[in-house]
Each structure stands twice: as C-alpha cells, then as structure tokens.
Chain A
Amino acid sequence: MNKVVASAEEAIKDINDNATLMLGGFGLCGIPENTIAALVKKGVKGLTCISNNAGVDDFGIGLMLKTRQVKKMISSYVGENAEFERQLLSGELEVELIPQGTLATRCLASGYGMPAIFTPAGVGTEVAEGKETRKFMVDGVEKEFLMEMAFDSDFAIVKAWKADTHGNLVFRETARNFNPMMAMAGKITIAEVEEIVEAGQLDPDHIHTPGIYVHRVFKGEKYEKRIEQRTVRKK
C-alpha cells in the first residue's frame, strides 16, 4: 500500500496531452504548486482543467495559461487573471463558468459514485440553459432544481498538509477547500504534501481523506504559499 513516489515528475509521468485534470485550491490557497510547476516543465498541452479559480498571472494555474497548455477551464471565479481574460475574449481559451457549490458537489458526486446531483443554484439563469430540471417539494413548497452531472476526470491533483505512506491525507485550515472532494473524484489521484509520515503516525480519527482514494503521494520540494490579498490590522 505504499503510495509514495519520489518527485512531482514521477507523479505526473502518465499525464499526457489532452488530459482532463482536477486541481484543488481556492484562490492561491491550498493549490498543488509543485505539480503545476512540473506540468509547466513537462509542457503537456490541450489540458482541460477543473479548478475553482485560474490562479493569477504568474502563479498557480496562471503559469499553465501563460504557456498555452490549457484548452479549457471549468471554474466558478476567474477574476484575478488578466492573461485568462485576454485568452477568453480572444477565443483562444474555452471556459465554462459554473456555480461554486455546483462545482464542489459535482466533484463530491464522482467520489461518492453518484452520476448526478440536483441543485437550485442557477435556476432561471443562463447556467440552466439546456439542462434538465425537476421539481421537488422543499419545506412544503415546490422548488425547481437543475440536474448537474458528476465530473469525469482523468487525474485529480490535490495539495494536503500531511500524508502517511498509505496515502491517508490531512488538510490544514482553509487550504482544505476543494481538495478532499477532488481527491475522491480522480481516476488517478495525485497528492502533494508538506510532510509524509509512516503509516500509523496519523491518528485514524483525524484523517480527512482515506488513502483508498489516493494513488500517488509526494513531498513538495518547496512551498511558496503566495498570499493573494494580504490584509492585516495594527497591533
């Protein structure tokens, strides 16, 4: 059950052109920054990326946009990336914007083995166009829901705080965000972490993602953990 691989390069060895990837993180928080660097270095192209955000111009997924490796982004919010906006408006990049809760729950559905979910998010908006709807009674009132499909993703790439050698994962603070659901949803799941410990060193009660969902784990070489909006108060 040893899931540990030596490096990001080894972890992504079978990610080839035109793959569909899920990438964890919210903004720049909890993103798999070492794997993204390795994907940029490898130069795979035509990628479809499912990720809540698209990074910033010079960090996160923004690095893969700059090198034109991304064919399509599926995200909820892409506001902080000028290169993204340029590629979108010029038609170089295909983009599907979907509600954040829908994105999270479509990942969850994949990991739970459910083909679809029903959500009220987007009913009556352009998000609902062409989608099957169904009415259910909620608190005694009939309400309309959209059917949204589970994601089908070749790889999920997540960032955790700690892992053990069996691939059990523990996340830290709000760097958890989309990582646990994406970890459950990849056909192959790659986790990069800050620390790997021996099996038995993590309390089984404290595992966020059981290792059965995780195929490869490696320790990130370094973590920049860039802060997008540094807000402080005076002492």
Chain B
Amino acid sequence: MLDKIGIAKRIAREIKDGYYVNLGIGIPTLVANYIPQGMNVVLQSENGLLGMGPFPFEGEEDPDLINAGKQTITTVPGSAFFDSAMSFGMIRSRKVDLTILGAMEVADNGDIANWKIPGKMVKGMGGAMDLVASAKNIIVAMQHVNKANESKLLTKCTLPLTGVKCVKKIVTELAVLDVTAQGFKLLERAPGISVEQIKNATEGRLIIEGDIPEMKIE
C-alpha cells in the first residue's frame, strides 16, 4: 500500500519535460518534491504565478508571495506574475499541460466530486471547477476507500459534482488506473496489493486485462 508520499512519487513519474503543471492542495502539492532532477517543468499557481519555487528560508517569508494554498513560497529564475483573469485564461485555453488534484469521489465515466459535502462542508470550489472543465490532462490523487472502507471509485458520484467526464488517470494507495470509455482500467498495483484487493475496493466498472504489474517506486 502507498502512503501519501508514495502516491506523490508515482504521480511525479507522469510529468514530462517541458510541461506546465498545476498542482492542487494536499498530496498534489507534494508531487513538486519528486519531479526528476534536470527536468524542465514550470509549476503554475492559479493565484497568479508561473514558476513556483520551494518554501522560503526561515525569516525570508514574503506576505505578497503565496501559492493557491496560501502558503508562503518563492519564485524561480524565469518566473512570471499575472492577474487571476489571465491565470484562468491560460487554464481555460489549455496552455497548462497537466492538472493534478485531489478528489472525494470519482466515477467510472470520469466525473469528479471534490468540493462540497452537503450540510457539512461549505468551503467552496475555489479554482477546481475551472481547472477540471478545461484541463488537457487531469490526474487525481485520492484514497481508494473511505474510513468506513467504502469505495470512492464509483459507478456514479454521490456528492455534488465538480466536473463531468474529465478525469483521465487516478493514483490511489492501492493502484494506478486510467479512466476509459468502458470504465476504470487497472494499470498497476501498489507494492504488496493484489488484483483481488483492488477489485474489492472498486465499486465502479473495473477492467482487468492480462497481468497487472506492481508499480515501481524509488
């Protein structure tokens, strides 16, 4: 089974040289730490920055320089600032190559729910609806099952949707799956996890073809 860092490491392998990438809050933020050395990748923060760098050194925090999670950050050589309209302009016009975000539920047709639990959580969707409606490629980092051991990979989302038919790939603590026209396609198993365990944890349609390799994580 993968921990959060394992999920982040596995997702980092999906990033290609030359990509502009938007990372959501939570596990997706950790992905930045595992982008292979020497790879040219520019991180977009939707509050108005291309070229997000690491956290500042202690004492060098700048209140005018934060990421979309409101954390203090730094720039890197070649960074650019812009306003929120342009930020979502580059998202909407599909200039951002890859969006990585978390989810509470994903359906086997690619629907995603990650912004609202009626009566409980009323925080808002932030930029998630804009991102999922327009992204060229969306990878979701999520837990395969909830605390009650119920699947979060479903035939149909039960929570209010963030976007429809948009998720392309999912990395969970148990597996890597593609979202296809026929449902979730199992690509890889997490270390020590059997196909049977993944089957039991997946409520939505699951396609298993041939031998499913165990994923390689450093």
Residues of A participating in the B interface, judged by any CB pair closer than 8 Å: 26-30, 52, 75-80, 85, 88-89, 95, 97, 99-105, 107-108, 119-127, 139, 161, 171-181, 208, 225-235
Contacts and interface: CB of A to CB of B under 8 A. Distances in A.
Interface string B92-104: 1010000000000
A177 B66 CA distance: 11
8 contacts: A27-B70, A76-B127, A105-B89, A124-B111, A180-B85, A181-B84, A227-B72, A228-B66
Given A174-B81, A231-B55, A231-B73, A100 B46 contact: yes
B84 to A, nearest CB: 4
Given A232-B55, A233-B57, A234-B58, A119 B130 contact: yes
B56 to A, nearest CB: 6
B126 interface: yes
Contacts, number: 182
A229 B134 CA distance: 28
Interface of B: 45-49, 54-73, 81-85, 87-89, 91-92, 94, 111, 122-130, 133-134, 160-164
B54 to A, nearest CB: 6
B80 to A, nearest CB: 11
Contact of B133 (A97, A103, A120): A120
Contact of A125 (B48, B83, B92, B161): B161
A77 B125 contact: yes
Contacts of B91: 101
Contact of B69 (A119, A176, A225, A229): A229
Given A174-B66, A229-B66, A26 B130 contact: no
Contact of B129 (A75, A99, A108, A172): A99
Nearest to A225: B63
Nearest to A124: B164
A175 B130 CA distance: 21
A100 B84 contact: yes
B202 to A, nearest CB: 23
A181 B85 contact: yes
